[in-house]
Structure 1
Amino acid sequence: MKKFSFILMLLALMLFIAACGSDDEGSTGGDSGESSEGETYTVGIDTTYPPFEFEEDGEYTGIDIDLINAIADNQGFDIEFSAMDFGGIIPAMQAGQLDVAIAGMSITEDRKEIVDFSDPYFEAGISLVVNEDNNDITSLEDLEGKTVVVKSGTTGADFARENQEEYGFEITQLDDSPAMFQEVSNGNADVLFEDYPVIAYAIAESDLDLKVVGDRLTGDEYGIAVLKGENADLLDQINAGLQELRDSGEYDEILNKYIAE
């Protein structure tokens, strides 16, 4: 009987060791070994932001669209676009509705508390914009008692709030760039704050009654974002793809397609 019990115990021990070995094999590599190749990711965009993102003939186009498509092709993953107001993009990421955001999004310390950014892919900067007939406003010092219109959720809106008390202007917030441009063009507001490449493109392409005055007010850089602490492997691939596009010259081709230097 003792011999039989010993054999049963030995068999149980062998089964236990085999089970542990199987578990170890199944966990090899963990998350750090995962690849994004073949995966499909949802990308948040704001299509009221030419030349970076806009809709033409029913298709999404622009610098950001071409860039993320090229990165996805280079790195072997697929993407689906989800268009929304800029101010809703980070909340949508927090709600798990988006995996990635590329929307002319400036890299800021506040945003870095919520998202992880890729390497910078564009140098922008906020400009002061007035009606083309306005010759009285050329700098922030001329804004006392004036109305400044900004786009909700942007660095332009942040800049306005940070400088409102010092320069004594009123702020109006709107949800999209075209409405903001129209406010100043129609004389309903005195000034708008907008990223230089965006407003320069809008004035050239849409014949707006606007002009840029003074030097750029900031030196912002754009980045591609994923939710903080999530999709680290995907962010690595985005950075790798971006660098390969720079090295091959395709990055410059994309920029030159929309912005003539």
Structure 2
Amino acid sequence: MQAYLDLKSVLSCLPRISKCAAVLALCGTAHAFAASALPTVTAGKLTIGADLTYPPYDYMEGAAPAGFDPAFMTKLAGHLKLQPGFVDTRFANLILGVNASRFDVIASALYVTPERARQIDFVPYLKTGGSLLALSHSGFAPKKPEDLCGKRVSSIKGASWIPKLNDVSKQDCIPAGRGAIDVREFETSPEAAQAVLAHAVDAQFEDSAVAQMTVNKLAGRVTITSTTQLYPVVIGLGVKKGNDALLGQLKSAFASMKQAGEYQALLKQYNVGEPTDDDIARALGAASN
């Protein structure tokens, strides 16, 4: 008799169980739909603009994108339930590309500056700085930007430190009669390094992590001459202004990566740091007002 009553109780619950299951299924479908319905260039895909000539952040390894940004964005896209796809774009054209909706987000070691923050929205995710490189045993070992007065300096085109070097040139070098800093811009970092090797320039200004990789790759033919990080900066993902839905989802996915420990593992692997709130506020400057 007791067994009959238990069975009867179970049977009486089935309609409610089925209803709950249906609701749960509907919620799961709604979540999947919300992810796939994000305002992306291609439905179900996160299209990422990156300059894939910039190791260790962004480069090609065989036929596949590699480096910090591709690893980071692949995990981020997974949390969004979107398929990641990379568009190789030279650095100077990244902001133009995202604003023209050629891709959804920039992930390419893009420094956060007030000027750029007036053009795009940022999701800050890294902190780094700059270094100076020169030929080993050349006798020229600049430690700081002021040491570049009267010298030729190579840089990747469109880099955020170029206006700063021009300011040093105008405010320090020329008034002191030491000659202007002659900044020469190149499409890629390897081309800027090649200019040093070819004696076409006296030094190269480069991101610190990239500079260390350049030294390793060139087997000591160039050396890092600066002793501290120059112009410490925050790096951010870039999103077209007005695309608030995608911006919010990227921030949520980033928080999920932190909670899962995935972000911290990448920081350790690539020897880079996480920016503080104060770092981010300083980087945004007047654009945060």
TM-score by length of 2: 0.72
Once the two structures are superposed, residues 35-90 of structure 1 have per-residue CA deviations (whole angstroms, 9 ceiling, x without a partner) of 34363232101111111111012111110001011011012122321001111111
Q: Which moved more, 1:122-131 or 1:155-164?
A: 155-164
Task: Name the CA distance, whole Å, in 2 between partners of 1:63 and 1:255.
Answer: 9
Offset, 1:208 = 5.1
Q: What does residue 36 of structure 2 align with?
A: 37
Q: Supply the distance in 2 between the matched residues of 1:69 and 1:206 (Cα, whole angstroms).
A: 29
**1:150 maps onto 2:155 in alignment:** yes
In the other structure, the counterpart of 1:204 is: 216
Residue 218 (structure 1) aligns with: 231
Q: Quote the offset at 1:158 in angstroms.
A: 2.8
User: Using the alignment, how far apart are the partners of 1:255 and 1:205 within structure 2?
Assistant: 21
Residue of structure 1 equivalent to 2:205? 193
Question: In 2, distance between residues paired with 1:252 and 1:62?
Answer: 15
Any unmatched runs of 5+ in structure 1?
1-33
Aligned partner of residue 121 in structure 1, secondary structure: strand
Match of 1:174 among 181, 186, 192: 186
Instruction: Give 3-state SS (helix, strand or coil) of 2:59's partner.
Output: strand
| Structure 1 residues 260 and 222, CA gap change in structure 2 (3 angstroms) | closer
Q: Which portions of structure 1, spanning 4 or more consecutive aligned residues, are displaced by more than 4 angstroms? A: none
Deviation, 1:116, is 0.2
Residue range with higher mean Cα deviation, 56-65 or 93-102: 93-102
Paired with 1:43 and 1:93, the residues of 2 have a C-alpha distance of 9
Give secondary structure in 2 for the equivalent of 1:149. Answer: strand
1:256 aligns with 2:268: yes
Mean Cα deviation higher: 220-229 or 124-133: 124-133
2:137 alignment partner in structure 1: 133
Of 96, 108, 115, 1:103 maps to 108
- State the distance in 1 between where 2:237 and 2:131 align: 22
CA-atom RMSD in angstroms: 2.0
Please give the alpha-carbon distance, in whole angstroms, between the structure 1 residues aligned to 2:98 and 2:259: 30
Letter in 1 for 2:132: L
Amino acid at match of 1:116: D
What amino acid sits opposite 2:204 in the alignment?
L
* Equivalence for 2:10: none
Q: Does 1:228 align with 2:241?
A: yes
